[in-house]
Structure 1
Amino acid sequence: MVNQWALYRDEETFPDALRFDPGRHLTIDGQLKDNIINHFAFGHGRRICPGRWFAENAVWTAMATILSVVRIDYARDPDGHEIKIKEEYTAGLSIRPKPFQCSFESVNAERRAA
């Protein structure tokens, strides 16, 4: 079994790997890098998922649609201060982030007023 957690946090491939930085996947002229390892989730070698291209396109379309109508931000306390996210993960074979608070707000002013 491949240790995907360690592969995505390899400091030689991804400097400052825990920091959110989408720019690390772009060239200087803003194009996607060709040599970035980005298919760990779909398996390896002969057993790689044949539907990976469809899955990536479906996720891209869904995220573009969601981000075009919703602003995702930090949750706020009653005084309006941002509630920082504490980075915590589950343990075991399937590691994932533990639940955290966030804010979803419509970017459409007319819908917000309704």
Structure 2
Amino acid sequence: MFSDASQFDPSRHLTIDGQLKDSIVNSFTFGHGRRICPGRWFAENSVWAAMATILSVVHIDHSRDLHGHKIEIKPEYTGSIAIHPKPFQCSFESVNAAREGQLRAVMDFK
């Protein structure tokens, strides 16, 4: 879909006037035609809400070695039918203790 798909470029999801483009998801994941998944909008919005919540609570960055230097990530992927990234090291730091407490409370809710 994008010539430089492995590059982080949020601007590709914005219109010329800086507004967020309508849904950019166009895949077979939710089916097609009469049998398309009726919950696809709920699924996409749930993922968006989860990501917004996570990013409002934590800062995600490179891991650091013993000397404090960034550990660069080499993008590697599995070679199976369902391709996904191989595990890599990263750092999660809380940006707001109150929000972190709220998120932990939600995660512990049963």
Equivalent residue for 1:99, pick from 63, 73, 87: 87
Higher strand share: 1
User: Once the two structures are aligned, what percentage of the paired residues are identical?
Assistant: 68
- Return 5+ residue gaps in structure 2 as ranges: 100-110
Q: Kindly tell me: are residues 41 and 32 of structure 1, through their superposed partners in 2, closer, same or farther at Cα, counting changes over 3 Å?
A: farther
Deviation at 1:57, TM superposition (A): 1.0
Name 2:105's counterpart in structure 1. none
The count of residues paired between Structure 1 and Structure 2 equals 98
- What CA distance in whole angstroms lies between the structure 2 residues aligned with 1:23 and 1:41? 24
**Alpha-carbon distance between aligned partners in 1 of 2:92 and 2:8, rounded to the nearest angstrom:** 19
Q: Which moved more, 1:52-61 or 1:94-103?
A: 52-61
TM-score (norm 1): 0.74
* Structural RMSD (CA): 2.2
Cross-structure match for 2:3: 15
User: SS of 1:75's equivalent?
Assistant: coil
Q: In the aligned structure 1, how far is the partner of 2:24 from the partner of 2:13?
A: 10
What 5-or-longer segments of structure 1 have no aligned partner?
1-7, 9-13
Higher relative CO (Cα under 8 Å, sequence separation at least 6) belongs to: 2
The equivalent of 2:25 in structure 1 is 38
Q: Tell me the distance in 1 between the aligned counterparts of 2:45 and 2:11.
A: 20
TM-score of the superposed pair, with normalisation by structure 2: 0.77
Aligned to 2:61: 73
**4+ aligned runs moved over 6 Å, structure 1:** none
Query: How much has 1:42 moved relative to structure 2?
Result: 2.6
